Amino acid sequence: MSKLLYLGKQLVSLVSVLLLCSCGQSDEVKVQLTGSTMGTSYHITYIADANTPDKAYLQAKIDHELAKVNQVASTYIDDSELSTLNQNKSTEPQQYSVALTDMLAEGIRLANVTHGYLDITVGPLVNLWGFGPDHHPKFIPSPEMITQAKQSVGANFLQLHGRSVRKLNPDVYVDLSTLAKGYGVDVVADTLAAAGIGNYLVEIGGEMRIAGHSLKQQDWRVAVEKPVATQRQVQHVFQPKDSAVATAGDYRNFFDENNVRYSHIIDPNTGYPIHHHTVSVTVVAKSCMVADGLSTGLMVMGVEKGLRLANEQHLAAMFITRNADGSFSEHYSQEFQQYL
């Protein structure tokens, strides 16, 4: 019998936050909000003063905005806008919302940046391996099944013109799990900024965006988790400063079959789960959606190809690899050096 492990519907949080002491000497106060969204949780910390809107109002506003994102981008909601797109077999142009087409456009752009290693149309393969809405597979897919599923995988099967989307292949199935949480983080950060809040840390399922400083007038500190499934320990702490941070890893969402581990991260080029010694990738960018997508694309590539691309594209990325003795090594792109 196989030993089957499946931890969560989506990528489990890989980045944790080291929040600084809340004591202060001015009329500013630290406010924290928590809630659930997109199959995971969110944690928001911001610095409020006398002019900041009421906490309950902001929480309700944020929950409303996140519910809208989920209704657009979830593959777990049958009547979400993305599910409607996936169910539609027409190859004629169709009109969709700003939110959905923005995510699709960024997914197509990042597919080009990563030479196809980040592919938002990888859904058929994700589902085939049991990591989609239907959960676990009953067996390891055959090479023929994988070849068949790959026939409808490729960002080139999507054409966008403004808010118009055309599927060149009727069987294209889009999975935005590599972008949606980051997009949600950006939406929340923009909501706080619109409310006049300039010092905040927003985190959804480990993806985050920060601005300004903590209550002690110090930069927010972010901790990258050690990539082990059995415990939660800190691997690396840094201060990204007014940026977004996202991490992708293969050590929490997987299943074992006949003593072989199969990661939830699928290489769209091979159709198989990734199998290399890179266990996590952290990316720093201005947009959390961008950081979210890039971290997955670089994770699929692995440290050798990914680090080369990161340096070519001036991306701030940290790769963690597992050594033969079980220890870990860190590798940094040139752009990430500023955070060391």
Domains (ranges, CATH) in the chain? 15-30+41-48+179-339 (3.10.520.10)
What is residue 254's predicted lDDT score, i.e. its pLDDT?
60
Percent of the chain with pLDDT over 90: 75
Confirm whether residue 278 is marked as ligand binding.
no
pLDDT tens sequence across 96-112: 999 999 999 999 999 99
CB 73 within 8 A of CB 123: no
What value does the mean pLDDT of the chain take?
A: 89
φ, ψ of residue 199 to 5 degrees: the values are: -125, 110
What is the secondary structure of 7-18 as a DSSP string? Answer: --SSPPP-EEEE
Q: Which two tokens stand for residue 262?
A: 């199969």
What is residue 11's predicted lDDT score, i.e. its pLDDT?
35
Confirm whether residue 178 is marked as ligand binding.
yes
Percent of the chain with pLDDT over 70: 86
Q: Which residue has the tokens 């074992």?
A: 256
pLDDT tens sequence across 150-181: 999 999 999 999 999 999 999 999 999 999 99
What is residue 233's predicted lDDT score, i.e. its pLDDT?
78
Q: What is the largest CA-CA distance in the chain?
A: 66
Q: Is the pLDDT of residue 16 over 80?
A: no
pLDDT tens sequence across 287-315: 999 999 999 999 999 999 999 999 999 99
Q: Confidence class of residue 255 from pLDDT cuts 50, 70 and 90?
A: low
Element (H, E) at 105: helix 98-113
Q: Name 312's Cβ contacts closer than 8 Å, sequence gap at least 6.
A: none
Phi-psi region at 241: left, alpha or beta (left = phi > 0; alpha = psi -120 to 50): left
**Using the 8-state DSSP alphabet, how is residue 273 labeled?**
B
